[in-house]
Chains A and B, each alone.
Chain A
């Protein structure tokens, strides 16, 4: 499989200087990594730098799985786990470029993520696709109508029945959102992570009055969940407005709100 290593130097197509530099640095770092005892500062810093150096590779792999319903950030996260494994297992003696070696590991990790965790319950493929379509079409309609669409409008646009829309919305609720600080794939081009989208100080929340009794409960929530909850229940913004404000889809807002309410209820029950 690895027949390309030696001839590359005098290939007709000149490889970009950046790639060349990455490979050189990578080889250097692996030398340090394998030449220093595990746990030593030199070992650790070489490992860290190797990971940082190859993060673009993970990004690249993750992008191949875009539009499949998982937030890009989640995919980068699991892909990075694959990268870590690859760094730890790589044997420089074999004469294979690290990127060649790491790519299948990274992709394998991302695929595993889809297989294991994408759906909390088994949802037929038809519904998974409908859910994705619902996300896109409802975002479009929200834009053009200036309000959230009705199932009838969605059905007309997609060319299916209202029953199917209701089914699709239901399956959306079965879809597990895994990472609390992941962005939302449906809003590609938006901020990379939701946490980036929220400043520490938020003008919308400054003047909100919250009863003392609720404060500790709210403070125990993740920053993003807390913000969404407050915007909905204390600022009375609609889910679509919140979606726009936070930079995620309305369906995602809905899922987060439901989940946060469940969490709060459980927390209250335990008191």
Chain B
């Protein structure tokens, strides 16, 4: 599941990729994985919980658009105190509708950047989250 090659930060390859059945029961697995990864990037508890929630929310939106029996794929790119998560499934989401959705408000609050796209029959949400600076000395 993990393969972090050289220059992982800006590589187009996902550092971590996880595929689960497109079923809400598996969303908690994605959330847990997300929290585990963020903890290793030295995110604060606030950031970890926000990210966990954001991934849950994004997964729920993607699940709504997912075709029956499809797989939900989460890819994580780990940077220096940033994490990019892309959650996708075969299907089509109507992006315009989402702009007006409460879930979208949630996503854009929790993540620094959020975007949806449908490419070749796959609906994806990509989130970029940057950890808060740890300015205070320990």
Chain A interface residues (CB < 8 Å from chain B):
138, 145-154, 156, 162, 165-166, 169-170, 211, 213-214, 217, 232-234, 236, 238-240, 250-251, 254, 257-258, 261, 264-265, 268
> Of the 9-residue stretches B43-51, B68-76, B88-96, B122-130, which lies at the interface with chain A?
B43-51
Is B100 part of the binding interface, using a Cβ–Cβ cutoff of 8 Å? yes
| 26 interchain pairs, CB-CB under 8 A | A138-B45, A145-B136, A146-B136, A147-B46, A147-B135, A147-B136, A148-B44, A148-B132, A149-B45, A150-B42, A154-B45, A162-B40, A166-B36, A170-B35, A213-B102, A232-B109, A233-B106, A233-B109, A238-B46, A240-B45, A250-B46, A251-B45, A254-B53, A257-B49, A261-B56, A261-B106
Given known pairs A233-B105, A261-B57, the reply for A213 and B44 (CB within 8 Å) is no
Give the contacts of B92-138 with A (CB-CB under 8 A). 100, 102-103, 105-106, 109, 132, 134-136, 138
Q: Complex: how many Å from CA A147 to CA B138?
A: 11
Contacts of A238 in B (CB 8 A): 46
Q: Complex: how many Å from CA A119 to CA B45?
A: 22
Given known pairs A239-B46, A261-B106, the reply for A153 and B138 (CB within 8 Å) is yes
Closest residue of chain A to B60 (Cβ to Cβ) is A265
Which secondary structure dominates chain A's binding surface?
helix
